[in-house]
Amino acid sequence: MKPHYSPGTLLLAGLALAPLPALAQAHAPAEDKPGRIVLVPMSVERPAGAGWALVRRTDTELVLVRPADKQRNSGVAMASGRVPDKRARSADELAENIRSDLKKNVDGKRFEVLSEDVRANAAGERKCVSYRQLARDLGAKRADGKAQVIDLHGLACLHPSDEGIVLVATLSERGPEENRNANMAEDAARFFADIRPHAPLKGQDWQPLAEKGDANAEVWLARGLLQAGKAKEAIPWLERAAEKGHAEAQALLGLAYLTGRGVDRAPTEALKRLKPAAERGYPKAEGLLALALLNAAEVRDEAEGRRITLKAAADGDPLGQALLGELLLFGRAGMAKNEAEGAAWMRKAAEQADARAQYMLASLLANGLGVDKDPVQARFWLELAAAQGNPEARKVLEQDKRPPAAPASPGEGK
């Protein structure tokens, strides 16, 4: 049994958890605010509370982790859209599938199930199943000999426009029983209520809608082309959406001109694309505009870059938060040096999956710069950064794996 990471093995509590809201529109919207993360079949709000770090994201799956501290257990939030091995056509059939998965996957030698329940929600036309499982992990004992407890709440629903897809969301905690969150059910209910299903399209499936002039479809088609390494083919679709005032398209075009991906590098052209979206308060465009103004020699304007950085950070953009953290940590771009405040902004960016911010935060924690020294937390953030491909973090971890150099013999060097 893997209650921390496998939603199909977990169980319901009979709680009145919120259902997935009805489809708000035909297809997936742009990511128009920092707290919302769009997957192909759904959009997801981050769980309530501080400390959540995005550790995995694909087109169809999202995983966030909140590390443990002295007051609370570690947490994992997951959301995914998947095609199950066995199709269900009703909430009762979906509940039976979850019960079956539970029986197959529970390892009785390692886990002691304290309570479990799986229940189909009967209200309205929704086809959902609430589940909860409380288990003791006998294989993860503490120094005092006590086992950790895992408390997991989940919600699984058949997609309202394609019942061959199951949308699953779980919120779980792992740690000492005395640190269990008494409000776990309420926290889970809020997380589940902020899962919104969208049309389950991907890749070239967006093209017919894009050809009809749908701006969101144009952006999602461009995203797929970018991921497939076809940047030049993506640019015309972004141009079409940007002409309609689509903020995400404008931000992606600005990034293309900043980096030279799919177009010739042209920072002045990047600013033309980023400014309209930034002026409308789109956080991603604000962060990219700040980056250009602070770092691109052709358009450098430290005073304006500092102003936009503050705005992007306040609006929740992770790049803006990381930039502000760096300016404060090192006293750059005319900002007074403030290591504690800089570290706080760097943590905000790290929690939003900015890989470089995660590496920087690991360094701050390892050295006690702006924060209390904490080698355990430093390792956590270093490994997250490396998992996301940060080369500096990977280099540090590789060095840790190397065997220590043999000491020189007494006669060497003479």
Stretches where the chain sits below pLDDT 50 are 1-26, 413-414
Spatial distance between the Cα atoms of 353 and 130, rounded to a whole number of angstroms? 29
Spatial distance between the Cα atoms of 9 and 78, rounded to a whole number of angstroms? 13
All structural domains of the chain, each given as residue ranges with its CATH number in brackets, are: 7-197 (3.40.1000.10), 201-295 (1.25.40.10), 316-400 (1.25.40.10)
Distance from the first to the final alpha carbon of the chain: 61
What is the amino acid identity at position 223? R
Spatial distance between the Cα atoms of 47 and 64, rounded to a whole number of angstroms? 9
- pLDDT recorded at residue 325: 97
- pLDDT recorded at residue 251: 95
- pLDDT recorded at residue 10: 28
- pLDDT recorded at residue 70: 78
Length of the chain: 414
- pLDDT recorded at residue 400: 79
- pLDDT recorded at residue 403: 66
Start-end of H helices in 265-354: 267-279, 283-295, 302-314, 318-330, 339-350
pLDDT digits (tens, 9 = 90+) for 317-334: 999 999 999 999 999 999
pLDDT digits (tens, 9 = 90+) for 285-313: 999 999 999 999 999 999 999 999 999 99
E strands in 83-202: 111-121, 128-141, 147-159, 162-175, 195-197
Phi-psi group of 413: left, alpha or beta (phi > 0 → left; psi -120 to 50 → alpha; rest → beta) = left
- pLDDT recorded at residue 17: 31
pLDDT digits (tens, 9 = 90+) for 21-31: 333 344 556 66
- pLDDT recorded at residue 258: 95
pLDDT digits (tens, 9 = 90+) for 391-402: 999 999 988 776
Q: Per the confidence metrics, is the pTM higher than 0.75?
A: yes
